[in-house]
Structure formats: C-alpha cells, structure tokens
Amino acid sequence: MYSIITRLVQAAIVMLCVALVGFLVFQYVGDPVLAMVGQETSVADREALRKQLGLNDPIVVQYIRYVGNALQGDFGISYSFNRDVSDMIAERLPATVELVLLSGVLSLALAIPAGIYTGIHRRGGLAQTIMALSVIGVSVPSFLLGILLILVFSVWLPWLPSFGRGDIAGLAGFQSSLFTVDGLLHALMPATVLCLFQLGVILRLIRSEMLEVLRTDYIRFAWARGLPAQRVYLQHALKNTLVPVVTAVGLQLSSLFAFSIITEYVFQWPGMGSLLLHAIGQSDIPLLAAYLIFVGFVFTLANLVVDAIYVLIDPRIRHGAR
Amino acid sequence: MHSKLLPTAAVVLAFMLAPATQASAATIRIASQGDATSLDPHSHNESFTNYFLANVYEGLVGRDRDFKIAGQLAESWEQVDDKTWIFKLRPGVTFHDGSEFNAEDVVFSFDRALAESSNFKHVLASVDSYRAVDDLTIEIITTAPNPILLNDLLDLMILDKQWAEANGAEEPINLQAEEKSFSATNANGTGPFAISSRAQGEKTELVKYADYWNESGNIDKVVFTPINNASTLVSALLSGEVDLVMPLPLQDIARVESAKGIKVVSSPEARTMYIGMDQWRDQIIESPVEGNPFKDLKVRQAFAHALDAQAIIDRVMQGQATLSTQYVMDKVNGYNPALERLAYDPEKAKALLAEAGYADGMELTMDCSTDRYVNDGQICQAAVSLLARVGVKVNLIAQPKAQFFPKVVAPEFGTSFFLLSWTPSTMDSLNVFQNVLGSRDLDNGRGAWNISGCSVPEADAIVEEAAVTMDADKRRAMLEEAMALMVDDVCLIPLHVQQLVWGAAENIDVVQHPTFEFPLEYYNVN
C-alpha cells in the first residue's frame, strides 16, 4: 500500500515535469496566433488575441496557470479547432487504444513462440530465417514499410483499404472498430506495421534470455532428472526469463503509443497521433500539452503495472525484504 | 512470422472487400490533405475551411459556375447612391433544419461577423451601417464609395438567427469562455449540401439538400476524408477508394496520368509567388554586406534578371505553373496585360551589379517556408543556385511555416530576403495593394504584409483614389497604372502563378475555381 502511494506521487511528479518541459519547448513551436487568424487580420487584432490568450505572460506564469486549470480537469480549448481539448482527446483515444492493443497482442502472440523456438533451435534453418526477418522489423522505418504495404496490398492487389478506420460496432458496452470485419480489415496493415519493431525487440530478448537460462545448472539437472522437454522449456526455462521480458514488454507496449504517431500518419488512422501532428503544425499549445501529459501518464501507469506483475511472477520479490 | 501472416490473411480478406471499392452512382468520395478546422463560418479565415463550408452555407452573393459574381441569398441589388446599396433577398429559401430565411438572419450574421472572436471583421470594414428594411430587404451604407462591396461580401456566410440563439452560438467561439462550441461541430446553412455526419479529422458526410432553391448536379452524397500523407492520398486514388484528391503532389502527376480510369485536372490558381527584398532598413540583416544594396533599383533589377523563373517552372514545378509578369494573375481585376517581365539575362545582371558597386558579388540570407506553398523549399533552392551564377552567395534558411511566418510578419518583418506569395481573396488587385504592395501604414491597415517595405507614393495615391471610384472601367485603368508603377520599381520579383492540380476518377466532372473553391453543386458523376 505504502509503495503504491509513493509510486502515485512519483507519477504525478513525472507528469508535472513532462508538462514543464512541454511548456519550455512550446516557445519554439511557432506562433499559435498566426496559425489561428486569416491573412487579412490586422496587426492590432493579432496582438489583442495574443493578450487574450495570455501568450505574452512569462512562460512560468503560463505553466502555473495551465497546471492550475488542469488540476480542476480543465485542459483548455484547442486553438485550432475551437473545441474542448478533453473532448477531442476522448474522441481520438479509442482509435489509438485499439490500434495499440491489436498490435500489442499481435507482437506478443508472435514474439513469445518465435522467441522460444529460436532460443531452443538456434542453429536451425527456420530459426535463422526468423532472426533475419526480425532484423528487418527492427531496422526498417515504419513509414517506409507502411507505404510499401499500401502499394502492394491496396494499389497492386486491391485487397485491403489503404487509409482510415472501419465501421464501428458495440460489444459488451465497448465501441470499437475491432468488432467488425470492415474495421479489422482497416486495422490489419497499420497494426502490422506498428507491431513489427516491438515484435523484433521482444523476440530477440526472449531468445537471448532463453539461451542464457538453458545453460544454467538447474536446467541440466532437469534434463538429468529425465523431465519431458515441454516441461523443461516452458516451466523451468521460460518462467525464469520472464522478469526482464516483462520489464521490456511494459516499456515497449507503452512506447507503442508514441510510435503510433507515424503509423497513424501513414494510414490516416484517426487517433491521437494524427491529432498531435496537426497540433504541431498549428502550434496548438493546449492540445500539445494535453497529449504530452497523457503520454506521460501512460508511461507511468505501465511502469506501475510492471512493478505489480513482478510481485506476481518473482517469489524473491514477493517474499523479500520490504 | 509477420511475413507469413500477411499474405494468408490478405487472400482470405480479399473476397470480403471487393465490393467496397466501387462507387455508387451519385456518391463522390473526396480526399484532401487537410480537414476543415471548424464548421463555424465566422471563426477561421482559412481558405480550405471557407470553401468547404461554402457548400453548406451561402452568402448574399457567391460565384457561379463561370466564376462570375451572382446572387445567392440576395436575388437582386441596386445602388441608390454611391454609398447606399439595397439588397432584395430571395423569397422561399429555407435552412437545412427547415426554418425560413429572412432579413433578420442577415442582420444577425453581419453582427456575428463583427464580433470580437470573428475572423471576418475585414469584410465589413467599408460598411458604416446595415439594417433590415422589411422581411426581404437589406440596406447597406458604406463609409465611402466601395466599388467592390460585392467582392467583399462573397466570404460572409449567413446563419439562422433562431438556430444560433437556441444553441448558444451567437458568437464565433470565445477561447476564454467555458461554453461548448456548438457551431464548430454543427452546421445549419442554406447551401446545396447539408452535413449529415462528422468526425473531425476522420470523415465528414454531406447529403444533397432536397429543398435547395437552385439547381444542383447529380451528386446525392459526399464522403469527405482528410488524408495528410501525400503518398497515402495518391494510393487511395490509384486503388479506387476515393474519386477526387486535392491537391495532387506534382511528382505523382505522371503516375496518375498513366493509370487507367483516373485523370489529372489542373488550372491556374489565383496565387502568385514572389521573391522579396528588404527596401526599408538602412542596414540589411543577417548579411555581412554594409548598408542596404536593395535600396538601389539597379540591384533589384539585377536580381530579377538573374532569376530564371522559366527554369524554376520547368524543373521545380514540373511545368505546372505559368510565368508571371506582375503581382496578380490574369483573372484578377487590375491585371495589366501590357506589362512584361525582366528577361532572364545573367550577363546583364552582373553588369547591373557592377554598376551598383557589387562587382565582387555579395552575401545574403534568405528566409523560406517549406510547407506552405507548392514546392516552396525547392523554389528557394533553385533561386539560390541561380543567384550564385551572378556572384550572389545566398545562405538559405528553409523552415516550417510555423517558424517562418512569426519571423517575417508585422511588426518585426525580420527578414531581408525571402519568398512570399499572395492570393487576393476578392479577385481584385486592390486587395494586393492594400496588403502587400502599399506603403506601410499599419494603423490604417495598409501594408501589413509589405515585408519588403517598398514604397511608391505615386501608386499609393492612385490606389487610394481607385478604391472609391465607382466607374468600373476608370477604376480598372487606375489599378493597371498603379500595377505598372510597382512593377517598374521592382517592389518584388514575380516568379509564377501556380496551378491547382487535382486527381479525379474519369467519370467525375470537376469545376475548378482559381481561388480553390470546389462548388460541389456544379459537379457531376457520370
């Protein structure tokens, strides 16, 4: 209980810092007033608007005012859309979450078996091929891969839609495009592109941890005791690779939120990433700040969850000194 | 791994998807690089938003198919004297929600356009007062004779008073207030199309308004999707998922032309590109040169002779632009057909520079945006290498528009050499004189975009008189004369008029207007 409270306090500090860094950077994203007004607006009107928005105040004052409002749940009004920032984030969040979830599931579902397999048969032909392909996943930029997939599967072979999110349906109280065929078709290419980097990283981590563990004495004893291979690999070996893997997975999955910016841009996926790009282009400070705080929140939350999982999977932490 | 998954899944899915890529007869699917930022016609003065909304809202006057000014909500108008205009409103017009349109709505919309948070105050700058004479008559009195009042009114959209009041949308949104921005996400106009659904940045659907007062084409439904990434945009057209994309990136023209079933549609846009030179500072900035060489007409002429605009059109613009001789394109009122541009002649440029005392050349810094105009960054790079040939070394600062504009605009005007462009929204050159070419007089709203700081008082005087001259022919002659004076003075170096380049399915009839309007009521699907 005590540690959870400490963690929450830490999380709040992290988010405050993220917002502060954000506000320092906002000095250089351009002039939001120029992005808001038309070419015929007079210099005096521009200055009046700047004053009205409080953009002439020192950056520290702007920051404190922002945090004060945010604490009351008011994230301001988007300069470029004239709408509540909270409404806009709430509108865009489901699309990003479903893309991140789908690609997270995809990357875990593929990386765990492939990692175990390549760890066991490290000299096999298939394992070598998987390793070679994982290098592509880690090294090819996702926008390039995205454009390539669109070219092949939308233009040459008109099988998959090249952009956007599909039809939305409700299931068990949730609205998602993953519940419809059309929605899944739309999500397939973006989710694939988004998962590849994580897939490569997690696969390689599991493989190297497996190699490490398989060399240890207790595995040899397990073999000597004549245990079946399945039990040795999955129960004794895999379980002991999990602590570093869970750490990596937690961080990798939360960084999917950040990576999704490019994927969303390439596939015109209407999530928070494409909203962020628009906000940068328009110097839309309230929107930028809310996005940064949100991503900071996701990262701290993921770390919190990872810590909780440690306790579950590692008895040394569970029974260790407090 | 992933490479195994994709083809298998795709084969299975191919069967399910096939019908989705065919357009039904009267639906048009449009994709553009941006979305309308708001549905409120008075909050953002941004050309795409304005022209998107012009399909939903209407003004007293608008543009017809041939780009002439025609009555929309006003059926006819007459001038009682130089300053008094009477507009007779069209009877029997209804808003999309069924309520009747009348003079009350016009007065309300004018008031709203003048509100603090409106970005359309300038369209009524010449208006002294307006009132409803009766249910279908509006009287407008201007402070001084305004020959282009109709042009000014083109951008002023009319809302329903009752609808706005019922939904707390009496004003374009106030950013400080806590109110919900109803009019930013909902619309109720009198135009040919009504918005049936909207998810900002994702998809907007419009349906034909059955009770529209005028004829409209055969399109029943418009599905509008923003696609920010240029290559995804082109792919969506090539794969048949959309019927019309705007704009089409220049490098993809050949690809689209060679594809079956789609065509490239292009026409000149009312946007002229200029290169500007600081003529007001005594010492130019970001340059080791002492003093300001641009104060010398010979230097400005030398630069004009050195810049091979035709080469820029051929190489950078892929031929999708026309050479300009002056600061407006030929469809703009006040274009002077007699003017010629200073010919490309590097030898003459060198000679002129030598005469001005710069035989050894000079070093300058150029400011340029990279994401505002078609290929703006490349235009500047070409200009840099063209100037190098006459001994002028240019350090290029190519920057996103978010950095470029704050640096160069009033009141700092923080550049001494730059690329700029202008579209006169009124299609009248007075707009260019007032904003870009007129001597700076910020308090009176003149020359706010005169970044060069050039000043030809003789031209200012002519323009001031033309602004209040009601005789159209006389007025045009005056504007042409002023244009000639500005060109002779090389206030800016005109480069080219860029083209609107769109990609469309073969079966779509498209109408392009030079101001980027896309009046869907004139479009047809065959």
Query: How far apart are the C-alpha atoms of B158 and B73, rounded to whole Å?
Result: 9
Ranges of H-type helices in chain A: 2-26, 32-36, 43-52, 59-71, 85-120, 125-139, 142-150, 181-214, 217-224, 229-230, 239-267, 272-281, 285-313, 315-319
Query: How far apart are the C-alpha atoms of B283 and A11, rounded to whole Å?
Result: 53
Residue from the list A30, A53, A188 with its beta carbon closest to the beta carbon of B406: A30
Q: Is the pLDDT of residue B24 over 60?
A: no
Across A233-242, B8-17, B197-206, least confident range: B8-17
pLDDT at B174: 59
B247 preceded by cis ω (within 30°)? yes
Tokens for A135, please give them.
């290098």
Q: At what angle do helices A125-139 and A85-120 cross, to 10 degrees?
A: 150
A107 touches chain B (CB under 8 A): no
Query: How far apart are the C-alpha atoms of B226 and A265, rounded to whole Å?
Result: 11
Residue of higher predicted confidence among B423 and A3: B423
Look at the block and give the residue holding tokens 């961080």: A251
Residues A268-317 pLDDT 10s: 999 998 889 888 888 888 888 888 888 888 888 888 888 778 777 777 76
Q: What's the pTM?
A: 0.85
Whole-number percent of chain B with pLDDT over 90: 77
B10·A157 Cβ contact <8 A:
yes
Q: How far is CA B164 from the centre of its chain?
A: 28
- Cross-strand bridge partners of residue B419: B275
A268 touches chain B (CB under 8 A): yes
Q: Is the ipTM of this complex over 0.95?
A: no
Look at the block and give the residue holding tokens 């950040």: A258
pLDDT at B423: 92
Query: How far apart are the C-alpha atoms of B323 and B316, rounded to whole Å?
Result: 13
A182 contact residues in B (CB cutoff 8 A): 20
Residues A174-229 pLDDT 10s: 788 888 888 889 999 999 999 988 888 889 888 988 888 888 888 888 888 888 88
DSSP-derived 3-state class of residue B486: helix
A77·B181 Cβ contact <8 A:
yes
B240·A199 Cβ contact <8 A:
no
Residue from the list B45, B173, B199 with its beta carbon closest to the beta carbon of A270: B199
B10 contact residues in A (CB cutoff 8 A): 153, 157, 159-160, 188
> Residue B259, exposed/middle/buried by CB under 10 A (0-12, 13-18, 19+)?
middle
- Cross-strand bridge partners of residue B393: B363
Mean model confidence pLDDT for chain B: 90
A275·B201 Cβ contact <8 A:
yes
B432 contact residues in A (CB cutoff 8 A): none
Residues B503-523 pLDDT 10s: 999 999 999 999 888 999 999
Compute the nearest-CA separation of B161 from chain A (Å).
21
Query: How far apart are the C-alpha atoms of B394 and B385, rounded to whole Å?
Result: 8
A-B Cβ pairs (cutoff 8 Å, strict): 184
Residue type, A78: S
Q: Is the pLDDT of residue B169 over 50?
A: yes
| Per-residue pLDDT band at B94 (split at 50, 70, 90) | very high
> Residue B151, exposed/middle/buried by CB under 10 A (0-12, 13-18, 19+)?
buried
B121·A37 Cβ contact <8 A:
no
A31·B17 Cβ contact <8 A:
no
pLDDT at A81: 82
Q: Is the pLDDT of residue B21 over 70?
A: no
B184·A82 Cβ contact <8 A:
yes
Across A124-133, B209-218, B304-313, B459-468, least confident range: A124-133
- Is B495:B273 a contact under the CB 8 Å cutoff? yes
Of B126, B47, B124, B117, the residue nearest B83 (C-alpha): B126
Query: How far apart are the C-alpha atoms of B188 and B96, rounded to whole Å?
Result: 6
Whole-number percent of chain B with pLDDT over 70: 94
Look at the block and give the residue holding tokens 């009496």: B170
pLDDT at A25: 81
Residue from the list B176, B226, B239 with its beta carbon closest to the beta carbon of A162: B239
Residues B206-245 pLDDT 10s: 999 999 999 888 999 999 999 988 889 999 999 999 999 9
H or E element, residue B149 = helix B149-153
Residues A89-132 pLDDT 10s: 888 899 999 999 999 999 999 998 998 889 888 888 888 888 88
Preferred mutation among A46, A162, A181, A288 to probe B, highest tally of B CBs within 10 A = A162
DSSP-derived 3-state class of residue B451: coil
A104 φ, ψ (degrees, to nearest 5): -65, -45
Following CA atoms A120, A124, A125, A130 in sequence, which dihedral angle do they give, to the nearest 10 degrees?
20
- Dump the DSSP string for B115-140: STT-S-GGGGTTEEEEEEEETTEEEE
Residue of higher predicted confidence among A172 and B487: B487
Residue from the list A28, A151, A158 with its beta carbon closest to the beta carbon of B21: A158
Look at chain B and count its residues: 526
Query: How far apart are the C-alpha atoms of A188 and A190, rounded to whole Å?
Result: 6
| Per-residue pLDDT band at A2 (split at 50, 70, 90) | low
Mean model confidence pLDDT for chain A: 85
Tokens for B143, please give them.
């402070």
Compute the nearest-CA separation of A291 from chain B (Å).
16
B229·A157 Cβ contact <8 A:
no
Query: How far apart are the C-alpha atoms of B69 and B148, rounded to whole Å?
Result: 11
- Is B195:B206 a contact under the CB 8 Å cutoff? yes
Q: Count Cβ atoms below 10 Å from residue A44 Cβ, excluding itself.
A: 13
Which 8-state DSSP code applies to residue B441?
Answer: B
Q: Count Cβ atoms below 10 Å from residue A228 Cβ, excluding itself.
A: 10
Q: Which chain B residue lies closest to A39 (C-alpha atoms)?
A: B45
pLDDT at A186: 92
H or E element, residue B234 = helix B230-238
Q: How far is CA A199 from the centre of its chain?
A: 13
**For the residues A61-84, what does the mean pLDDT come to?**
85
Query: How far apart are the C-alpha atoms of B170 and B177, rounded to whole Å?
Result: 13
Tokens for B322, please give them.
């026309």
**Please, what is the end-to-end C-alpha distance for chain B in angstroms?**
45
Q: Which chain B residue lies closest to A267 (C-alpha atoms)?
A: B232
- Dump the DSSP string for A12-74: HHHHHHHHHHHHHHHTTS--HHHHHS-TT--HHHHHHHHHHTTTTS-HHHHHHHHHHHHHTT-
Residue type, B249: P
H or E element, residue B407 = helix B401-408
Q: Where are the beta strands (DSSP E) in B17-126?
A: 27-32, 61-63, 69-71, 74-79, 84-89
Tokens for B419, please give them.
């690329």
Q: Which chain B residue lies closest to A196 (C-alpha atoms)?
A: B2
Of B494, B418, B411, the residue nearest B447 (C-alpha): B411
Tokens for A157, please give them.
């072979």
Angle at B271 between CA B62 and CA A39, to 5 degrees: 75
| Per-residue pLDDT band at B23 (split at 50, 70, 90) | very low
Tokens for A287, please give them.
């929107």
Q: Is the pLDDT of residue A24 over 90?
A: no
